Amino acid sequence: MRRLLALGATALLAVSACSVGSNAGGGTEITFLTFETPNLTPAYWDAAIKRVTDKNPGIKVKKLVAPTADGRTSYAKQLLQSGQFPDVLIAVDSAGFAEAGHLYAWTPGELKDFEFPEANPVNGKYYQLPANTQTIPPVYYNKKMFADAGIAAPPKTWDELVADAGKLKDKGFAPFTIGGGKDGFPSSMILSGLVGTEVYNTTPDWLTQRRQDKVKFTDPAFQHAFSKLADLAAKGYVDKTSVSRDYAATEQAFLDGKSAMYPMGNWFAANADSKKHDFEVGLFNFPTEDGKLVVPAYTGGGMIVNAKAANLDAAKKFALGFQLDKDQLDASVKADGLFPAIKGYTPPSDVGPTFKAGYELYTEAVRQHAIVPAFRWETADDGLLPGMKDKVDQAAQDVITGRKPVADACAFLDTEWAKAG
C-alpha cells in the first residue's frame, strides 16, 4: 500500500511538473486568451503566435479561445475565479482586474514605442497595451444603392443622413444594417455614434462625470442623442427584426446587399476588402448635427498580462513581441482593419481601398484634433461600469423594437448603473 502511494505521489509530481508551465517541450509555457471573429480566425491567431514564438524560441504558447467574441471579458473573469487566469489576454477590458491587483502595470519604458502610452489609465497606472486605435463607428455604405437612390455624396450632417435614409427607403432599399442576438453590440452601433458626436463632442469626459454622479443618462443631452435612434426606428429606417441577427450574420447581410448603410467599427474594412460582394463599399464619418468633424475612436485593445503569471517575464516578452512586431501589425491591419498605434508605423501599401479610406478619415481627424471617446467601448477609469455594456445594448434594442420610449430606456440605464456601482 505504501509503495502504491509513493508511486501515485511520484506520478502526480511528474504530471504537475509538466503542467506548471516551465520546460514543457523545452520552452517556458504561457497561456494566451484569444477570441475569434469572422476576421480573426483560428488560422490568424495560430500564425500570429507562431510569428512571435519563432522570434522567441524559448516561449511556448498555449492558446485559449473565449467562447464568444463579445464575451471575452466575462470569460476571463470566470477563468480568474476558477483559478485559471491566463498569463496573457488580448482585448480584454482591464477594469476590475487591474484594481484587484491581477494585472501587471507596464512601465513608461515598456510603453515608449506606443503612440498613446497614456490611454486607458486605471488609478494612474497603465495595464493594457495601447496597441491600436479603432474608429467606432464610421458608416460603410453601398455606393450602388446610393447612386440608384440619387444620392450624389455621403451625408455630413444628421439631417442629410436622415434625408438620405428616406431616399433609400423610397427606392426600396433598407437604409441601415444592424444586428444583435447573442452579440449585442451591433444593436448599439448607431447609439455609440450619436453619443460620440452629440454628447462627447461637448463633454468628452462624460462617462468620468457619470462615475462622479455629475451627469445622468436621463439628462436632456443624452436623451436627445438617444432619441435620434428612436426616430430612425420609428421611420422604419432601422429594421427592428434585425435585433435577433448575430454579428457574423449582420456583416454578411450588408455584404449581400440587403441594406445600404452599415455603422460598424473600422475593423469591418478588412472584410469589406477581402470578402465577396458585388458593389463598391464607401464610408463616411458618423454625421454630426452641424457637420463639424467629430470622430469617436478607442485606443487600447491590446494585451494585458497576469501579474501573478508563473513566467511573468516570458508573458511580458510575448505580449510586447506580439504588439510591436511589424509583421504582426501588418497582419492585424489586413485581418482586422486595425490602426496600429505604434510610433513610426505605416500600414502596408497593399491594403485594400476600404481600409485606406478609413485610415485617411482617421488621420485627418487626428490632424484636426477631432477625436472623441467611443461610447460603450471605453475601458478603464473613463469606461462604463462592469456589466453595463450589455445594458446599453439592451436599451438600444428596447428603443429600436419600440418596447420602451427613450426616457424609459435612459431611466433603465441609470437604474442599472446604480446597481452596477
Partner 1 sequence: MAVTRKPVLPRVGHFASFGAPGVLVYLCFVLAPILISFGYSLTNYNPFDPPVRFTGLANYRLLFSDEQFLTALRITTILTLIVVIVPNVLGLGVALLLDRKGWLYNALRSVFFTPVILSSVVVSIIWSRLLDDEGPLNTLLRALGVEHPPGWLSDPDLALYSVASIVCWQLLGFCVVVYLAGLQGVPAELLEAAEIDGAGPLRRFRAVTWPLLAPSLTITTVVLLISAFKTYDYVKVITNGGPGSGATATIAFDVLQTGFDANHVGYASAMAVLMLVIVAVVTSVVLNFLRRREVDL
- Which residues form the interface with partner 1 (CB under 8 A)? 73-74, 77-78, 80-81, 96-97, 99-100, 180-184, 239-246, 249, 253, 258, 385-388, 390-391, 393-395, 397-398, 401, 403-404, 412, 415-416, 419-420
- Kindly give the residue spans of alpha helices, DSSP state H, lying in 264-325: 268-274, 312-324
What distances in angstroms separate CA 274 from CA 363, 368, 413, one per listed residue? 23, 30, 38
Return the number of the residue (110 or 390) whose C-beta is nearest partner 1.
Answer: 390
DSSP 240: G
- The residue (of 258 and 277) whose beta carbon lies closer to partner 1 is 258
CB of 258 to partner 1, least distance (A): 8
**Residue with Cβ nearer partner 1 (78 or 368):** 78
Q: Which residues sit opposite 63 in a β-bridge?
A: 32
In the complex, the smallest distance separating the C-beta of residue 391 from partner 1, rounded to whole angstroms, is 7
Least distance (Å) between residue 287 CB and partner 1: 26
Q: Which is nearer to partner 1, 150 or 402 (CB)?
A: 402
CB 241, min distance to partner 1, A: 4
Compute the distance between CA of residue 228 and CA of residue 318 in angstroms, rounded to an integer: 45
Residue closest to 62 by CA, chosen among 12, 13, 92, 22: 22
* CB nearer partner 1, residue 100 or residue 152: 100
Q: CA 268, CA 349: separation in Å to the nearest integer?
A: 18
Give the three cell numbers for residue 331. 497582419
C-alpha cell at 49: 503566435
Count of residues making up the chain: 421
What is residue 117's three-state secondary structure?
Answer: coil
> ω before 38 within 30° of 0 (cis)?
no
Backbone angles phi, psi at 379, to 5 degrees: -130, 180
d(C-alpha 19, C-alpha 29), whole Å = 9
Which residues on adjacent β-strands are paired with residue 304? 89
Identify which of residues 180 and 340 has a Cβ nearer to partner 1 in the complex.
Answer: 180
Residue 175's SS3 state is strand
Nearer to partner 1, 218 or 242 (CB): 242
Q: How far is the CB of 386 from partner 1 (least distance, A)?
A: 5
Nearest distance, CB of residue 321 and partner 1, angstroms: 29
- Classified as helix, coil or strand, 51 is helix
Q: For partner 1, give the closer residue by CB, 255 or 388.
A: 388
Kindly state the smallest distance separating residue 104's Cβ from partner 1, in Å: 16
**Shortest gap between Cβ of 182 and partner 1 (angstroms)?**
5
CA distances in angstroms from 45 to 51, 162, 305, listed in the order given: 10, 40, 17
